[in-house]
Amino acid sequence: MMEDHPQKNETHQEDHLNQVETSSAKQTSSAGQIHKQPNPRSYGCNICGLKNHATTDCNRRNVCENCGLNNHRTIDCVREPLWNYGPEFCAVQVEDQSFVFIDECIYAKTYREMASTAVISVVSGVASAKNIEQEFRDILGSEIWRWHCKEIGPNKFTMRFPTAKMVKDWGHFKPLGMRSVSAQIIIEPWTPAVNAKGELRQAWFRVRGIPNDQRSVKTLAKVGGLVGKTLEIDERTRFSIDY
């Protein structure tokens, strides 16, 4: 009877070792599965293009609009005070044609959002904003997108699409006949000139009486600002003795 106990103990120890080895193998296998999970940072940032951080950790999302740095907000920028951004008054010597010029500064975040906005023009027939909304609900459905059309002028509307590519794809159909009402529409990508009040005319002016040593580009641009906004200077006649 004394000789049977060591064999039982050895068998019990072997079973225990097998359980420990099996448990360790499972832990190793599960740990291996964890390492195989995709790292969100490996795809790179969608804003700056770098691959050392995720898009949610990018500091360039809050880049300053004035100086370009990302360590402060635009409203707190001290490198470019707001009082330096005054409008420019042009054509002060032309009666009833003077205007205020403000440089175009596009806000990048809003511009990316407007890339999926389309301008819809009714070229024939009569259609309202509700008719256009219902037309796209019937064609594409209302489950994937909430269609909202806004009137911005006579027979002209704006409506946002899910993607900018969809705006381009629908823009190939010119004109596009509507099924709900008897009308035809044209779909075009949105541009900042949609809400423009008008277009300034361009013309060349001949300037006389400026000494040759004072005909710098800055001086000529300021002189041209008396009749409008200077866009170009003719270098061939810049130092002409006839003017």
d(CA 66, CA 54): 25
By C-alpha distance, which of 102, 169, 157 is closest to 132? 157
Structure tokens at 70: 């990302």
Q: Is 122 exposed, middle or buried (0-12, 13-18, 19+ CB in 10 A)?
A: buried
pLDDT tens profile 34-43: 444 545 445 6
Which pairs with CB-CB distance under 8 Å and at least 24 residues apart come from 114-117? 114/190, 115/164, 115/167, 115/189, 115/190, 116/160, 116/161, 116/162, 116/163, 116/164, 116/166, 116/167, 117/158, 117/159, 117/160, 117/161, 117/167, 117/189, 117/190
Find how far residue 205's CA is from the centre of its chain. Answer: 38
List of domains in the chain: 39-82 (no CATH), 86-105+200-243 (no CATH), 108-191 (3.30.70.330)
Query: What is residue 83's three-state secondary structure?
Result: helix
Residues 6+ apart with CB under 8 A from 11: none
Q: What pLDDT was estimated at residue 60? A: 62
68/118: higher pLDDT? 118
d(CA 208, CA 211): 9
Average pLDDT score over the chain: 77
Q: Which helix (H) or strand (E) holds 204?
A: none
Looking up tokens 């509507």 gives 178
Q: What pLDDT was estimated at residue 127? A: 92
Average pLDDT over residues 79-93: 78
Q: What pLDDT was estimated at residue 35? A: 44
Query: What is residue 4's three-state secondary structure?
Result: helix
As a whole number of Å, the end-to-end CA separation of the chain is 129
pLDDT tens profile 151-200: 988 889 999 999 889 898 888 888 889 888 889 999 999 887 777 777 77
Q: Which helix (H) or strand (E) holds 187?
A: strand 183-189
Task: Phi first, then psi: give them for residue 115, nearest 5 degrees.
Answer: -65, -25
Query: What is residue 159's three-state secondary structure?
Result: strand
pLDDT tens profile 15-50: 544 444 444 444 444 444 444 454 544 567 776 677
Identity of residue 225 = G
pTM above 0.85, yes or no: no
Looking up tokens 């360039």 gives 60
Whether 119 and 156 have beta carbons less than 8 Å apart is answered as: yes
